[in-house]
Amino acid sequence: MPELPEVETIRRVLEPVLMGQIIQSAEIVRPEVIAYPDAETFCREIAGQRIVSLSRRGKFLSICFESGSRAVLHLRMTGCLLLLPADAPREKHTHAIFQLDSGEELRFSDLRRFGRFWLLKPGEKDIYTGMDKLGLEPFDENLSAGYLKQRFGGSKRAVKTCLLDQTAVAGIGNIYSDEILFAAGIAPSRPACSLNDTEWARLAAAIPERLGYFIEKNALTLEEYLASGGREYRNTPFFQVYGREGQPCPHCGAALVRVVIGGRSSVSCPICQ
């Protein structure tokens, strides 16, 4: 499910309650969700670790420990992270459970089982998660028209595909690429090499603006987040184009159109973009 704004919501909601807690033990129901090392080693080495922070890079979350170890998590399409009383019934697709010293459990649940954990030792070089290949964070001041143009200006790839390239800008997925392109007034199918300087500038501005906007619109308290099972996304009513094929463009009223680009569904306004 989650793209950067939703992952950031999870980070903001869970970090305050996780900070300072010790993982007493871990149980892995589905070993395939542990990408590195193996599930047994993962459980053994995570037990006894004290959480000092929850951080985000692109769509990755890292549970950082006092020891310098960190558990990295990617939620992919349908993963979610929940905090529940230890005696609460386990939802069907719960694949990893962490017992905390508060008596609660941190649970990883994922219907499609695409999500993955990695556990990295202190100072261990991260050649496993793919985080080392990520590009700029969307709020990095170095994310500029010049950066995007230098990165993609010579490419014939559709600009939509460029936005989904995690090695250029980290954290943009299918929803927000459409929203960003609508805000910038650029058609998703445009070859990157056809964009002019004004368009690169509008795109560079729209990336942090739209992502920041949707992070704010998704704000939830811990209680609200947990009550919805981590599945409530309050920002969805604010989408201007994503999922709105055939509906009127919020700017000009023309019917929004859907095309497939790079195998991903894309909705845009045929007039404004």
**Which residues are known catalytic residues?**
2-3, 59, 264
Sketch the per residue contact string, 186 through 225, with DNA: x for CB under 7 A, - otherwise: ----------------------------------------
Residue with tokens 């599930």, as numbered in its chain: 39
Q: Which is nearer to DNA, 1 or 28 (CB)?
A: 1
* In the complex, minimum distance from the CB of residue 53 to DNA, in angstroms, rounded to a whole number: 22
**SS3 (DSSP) at 106:** strand
Q: Considering only residues 142-161, where is the footprint of DNA by CB under 7 A?
A: 155-157, 161
Give yes or no for residue 50 binding DNA (CB under 7 A): no
Are the C-beta atoms of 155 and 188 separated by less than 8 Å? no
* In the complex, minimum distance from the CB of residue 20 to DNA, in angstroms, rounded to a whole number: 29
Residue with tokens 């392109």, as numbered in its chain: 181
Residue with tokens 């007039």, as numbered in its chain: 271
- Alpha carbon distance 219, 240 (integer Å): 18
Q: Which is nearer to DNA, 58 or 188 (CB)?
A: 58
Instruction: Please identify which residue in 44, 113, 190, 217 interacts with DNA, judged by CB under 7 A.
Output: 113
Which of 14-22, 96-104, 219-227, 262-270 is the region at the interface with DNA (rule: CB under 7 A)? Answer: 262-270
- Which amino acid is residue 123, in one-letter code? G
List the structure tokens of 170: 């980290």
Give yes or no for residue 240 binding DNA (CB under 7 A): no
Helix ranges (H only) for 116-158 are: 145-152
- Alpha carbon distance 201, 204 (integer Å): 5
